Amino acid sequence: MSIFSLITIREGSKGLKNKCLQKICGRYVFEYTVDYSLGLSKNIEGLFTVVSSDSRTVEDYCLKYGINFIKRPPELAVDYAKIEDVIYDAHKKVDREFDYISLLYGNIPVRYPEEFLKAYNFLLNNSDYDCVLSMQNVEKYNPAWMHKLRGDCLPLKENKGYRRQDLKQFMIHDGHTVLFRSKKFLEFKGRSLKDDVMHGVFGEKIKPMLNDKLIVDIDTERDLLLAEAVVEFRKNKSKN
């Protein structure tokens, strides 16, 4: 089985500027995702790592370390570009057939190989599924306890006396694992369904794979500080 492991890195960003190019423990944020993908390729035969970016810094890094690099065109490096178009562009330029595509965001430095292996093995053993998305329970951030955003006065909301254990449970995609069948993705490219259904571009039947890992999707300065703390913690733990 072959896997197209695509790492997406974009300059700029509306939240934390150049979030993928920030430093954590002396290394670029995106380096952690590159290491993760290359590490997976040592244990999974046929996993091919490619970086798609508009950044010269990232391009120079990939050239220095012999990592496959695709220059992302300007029209796909804007904040309103669709991720499926970025994937399709990279897939077309690589010009190879793959069984699966793994989408890796360059702004998530804390990674867990076992989560990818769970997703990969699931798709291998369940041919009726098109995709696996990693998910987490929202827990205390349950919609039942949320208010519409206002700064002047707290909006009134009916108090139904919800206890945490009585609430309906919700989950959210954490950005860590997006693994899907290449054939299904290419079939869906251009269909209207991808715009009508959340995650629809990845397939019709998607497995939500729950985990409780510490995963930090960096979009703000606070996220960066949290990610650095987690990286430091794991680093120190591995020494002991």
Query: Phi first, then psi: what are they for 50, rounded to 5°?
Result: -135, 140
- Model-level pTM? 0.93
Can you list the domains of the chain with their CATH numbers? 3-239 (3.90.550.10)
Whose CA is closest to 18, among 49, 61, 56? 56
For residue 87, CA distances in Å to 84, 93, 151, 179, 200 come to 5, 10, 39, 12, 14
Q: What is the pLDDT along the chain (240 residues), one digit of tens a residue?
A: 899 999 999 997 778 999 999 999 999 999 999 999 999 999 999 999 999 999 999 999 999 999 999 999 999 999 889 999 999 999 999 989 999 999 999 999 999 999 999 999 999 999 999 999 999 999 989 888 888 898 899 988 887 767 778 888 999 999 999 999 999 898 877 564 455 778 888 999 999 999 999 999 999 999 999 999 999 999 888 877
Q: Give the other-Cβ count within 10 Å of 13's Cβ.
A: 15
Residues whose CB falls within 8 Å of the CB of residue 128, separated by 6 or more in sequence, listed in order: 205
Angle at alpha carbon of residue 58, lines to 46 and 37, rounded to 5°: 25
